[in-house]
Copies of this chain bind each other. A is one copy, B any other.
Amino acid sequence: MRRATVDFGAAGVAGTDAYPSRRAQRPSILPRRDRCVYGSWRAGGPLTRGQYDAYAERGFLVLDNLFTDTQVAALRYESQRLRQHAATLDPDTLIREPEIRELRSVFHVHRQSECMARLASDPRLLAIAHCLLDDPIYIHQSRLNLKPGFDGREFYWHSDFETWHVEDGMPRMRALSMSIALDENTACNGPLMLIPGSQRHFVSCAGTTPRDHYKQSLRRQEYGVPDRASLAWLVEQGGIHPAVGAPGSVVVFDCNTMHGSSGNITPWPRANVFLVYNSVRNRLLAPFGGQAPRPEFIAARSEVEAVRAPGAVRAR
């Protein structure tokens, strides 16, 4: 592999924007100016010391079998039901494959399904989020992702934070995502791939964002795409970790951890529920890219009440 040539900090830290991106002609790598874990580890919490430290170091954690087979069965049943009754859901929240019109994502899923609402306030998930962010939290985004077998599309490398900052106005890095696997994630069916340690660097992307870009961007990325030299540099540092795991396993990852996934030609579909928790102190401002804010179902702006745990997911 060619040695990566990257520019550190040339984009400059302008004004009150801690993480400028899509403003310069050329990409650059800026240091993270926020912590990755807040507070400090305490005994008796949901994570072991080793898990907590690994998350701080690598920017993600894979927790096997967090949910039982019965709970996974309930979530899969609900996922199937939502797919079959897509016509009853808010059409704006449904994202389909560009050509074949197959349903790929249901956004705002915790507001459209009681079962998913219970999942989003599951006491174990909330305990983990509180342990790592050390603050009251709210749900910034939720969605059901359906990667079909045989022709599941790839998702190119990206930092969620870069988009949430530029397009949604998330000011700092104090948010995390959880991906709850409803199917087996094998090495072969396009599992989530993460670059360990990448959360410590902010890849400032080149170019600008056109208006109303989001409708396309949910299907295909064109803006906010990290450059190859920066990606190669991150991978030289940390390698790539494929998050394989059984149904019911959960990947917890920092908002700035670089991740992506390959296509899926296997017959095995790969569905997951994706939940983003943000600190209430990190509520959205005006988008840093200067565009109009994206809709509520993609980035919560008014629905920012702290979530508390009323009870766990129950099988029906």
Contacts and interface: CB of A to CB of B under 8 A. Distances in A.
Interface stretch (A148-156, A166-174, A272-280): A148-156
A12 interface: no
B265 A156 contact: yes
B150 A228 contact: yes
B188 A262 contact: yes
A235 B186 CA distance: 14
A267 B232 CA distance: 6
A264 interface: yes
A157 B242 contact: no
A154 B263 contact: yes
B262 A1 contact: no
Contacts of A265: 154, 156-157, 193, 260, 262
Copies of this chain, tallied across the complex: 2
A264 B267 contact: no
A1 B235 contact: no
Interface in A44-74: none
B262 A263 contact: yes
A6 interface: no
In this complex, which of A4, A232, A263, A265 has the most chain B Cβ atoms within 10 angstroms of its Cβ? A265
Interface string A231-274: 11001000010101000000000000000101111111100000
A188 B240 contact: yes
A270 to B, nearest CB: 11
A1 B242 contact: no
Interface in A70-119: none
A58 to B, nearest CB: 16
A1 B267 contact: yes
A309 interface: no
A1 B271 CA distance: 12
17 contacts: A1-B149, A1-B267, A1-B268, A149-B228, A149-B232, A150-B231, A157-B265, A186-B240, A187-B242, A188-B240, A188-B242, A188-B262, A193-B265, A193-B266, A228-B267, A232-B267, A263-B263
